[in-house]
Amino acid sequence: MPDNPVKIGPYQCGAGHPLLFIAGPCVIESEQLILEVGKRLADLAATHQLQLVFKSSFDKANRTSVDSYRGPGLEAGLEILAKVKAATGLPVLTDVHEPHQAEPAAQVCEILQVPAFLARQTDLVHAVAAATGKAGGTVNVKKPQFMAPEDMAHVVQKCEHYGNRRVLLTERGTTFGYGRLINDMRAIPTMQGLGTPVIFDATHSVQLPGGHKTGGQREMVSFLAQAAVACGCDGIFFETHPNPNQALSDGPNMIPLAELPALIRKLLRLRAALVAPDDA
């Protein structure tokens, strides 16, 4: 069986523990931006005593257009993420797209993420599970848009087989026709039934895929995040940026950094109401 709760640095994610928040810009645009966002998120975590993991990608290998910005690459990106960790004390998450990226990324990041489109790629799951298992880290696997939640059992079994029982699963929407994602909140308890904590990706769930570049409905993030917390998720994943309209990747989905504290406070109040003793 996978670990539950999952230990991530100083945090515990899972049943009976506080929400885990994963937040940061979609892609590393510059060292200055990443350090600025990291420090503001660290201040937010300290103020509200949050379990917060910083997230950003060194390479976005699944961009819609050949002209889209992808990031600084593995070596430069990991150097920047290491600086964020040193400056903020926050655990760090990044995603990997190729097996050879797993081992160096696991030396820097507490969580390695398998992107949704790649969750069925056994070689990648193998590399990520083995590297994080050896380094004492965690695997976060995003449920593909084309998979039923119960079928993620096979991914969990692969992670365990290849050396890591510290597994998170993330719900990020299901393809409905063309250019739309929907969220079936039954996926949260279904995947929790596999023995893992479940994270809800509130920003990628509002993507509008297709066209020259992926769009999104940023105004729907709060509603979906509240629904997921009400359904008992173990954590929330947000991409955030000081100015999403100027972001180089996934701007339409990201929450303005200045708006994130109010949303997190709302989610904390909802979570507290759900776990309060029954007065009846």
| Tens-level pLDDT at each residue, the chain (280 residues) | 999 999 999 999 999 999 999 999 999 999 999 999 999 999 999 999 999 999 999 998 876 677 778 899 999 999 999 999 999 999 999 999 999 999 999 999 999 999 999 999 999 999 999 999 999 999 999 999 999 999 999 999 999 999 999 999 999 999 998 878 999 999 999 999 999 999 999 999 998 876 666 778 899 999 999 999 999 999 999 999 999 999 998 888 999 999 999 999 999 999 999 987 765 4
Instruction: Locate 160 and state its tokens.
Output: 């365990």
What SS3 class is residue 53? strand
Our CA angle for 185, 168, 73, nearest 5°, is 110
Is 118 in contact with 126 (CB distance < 8 Å)?
Answer: no
Residue 188 dihedral angles phi and psi, to the nearest 5°? -65, -60
pLDDT at 49: 97
Beta-bridge partner residues of 183: none
Q: Alpha helices of the chain — where are they, by DSSP H?
A: 31-48, 74-88, 102-106, 122-135, 153-161, 187-192, 221-230, 260-275
pTM of the model: 0.95
pLDDT at 184: 96
Residue 130 and residue 161: Cα distance in Å, rounded?
9
pLDDT at 229: 98
Residue 42 and residue 123: Cα distance in Å, rounded?
34
pLDDT at 280: 46
pLDDT at 63: 66
Instruction: Locate 25 and state its tokens.
Output: 């810009």
The CATH number given to 6-269 is: 3.20.20.70
- What residue segments make up the domains of the chain, in order of their start? 6-269
pLDDT at 213: 66
Burial of 125 (0-12, 13-18, 19+ CB in 10 A): buried
Longest dimension (CA), the chain: 59
What sign for the dihedral angle of Cα 69, 208, 180, 259? positive
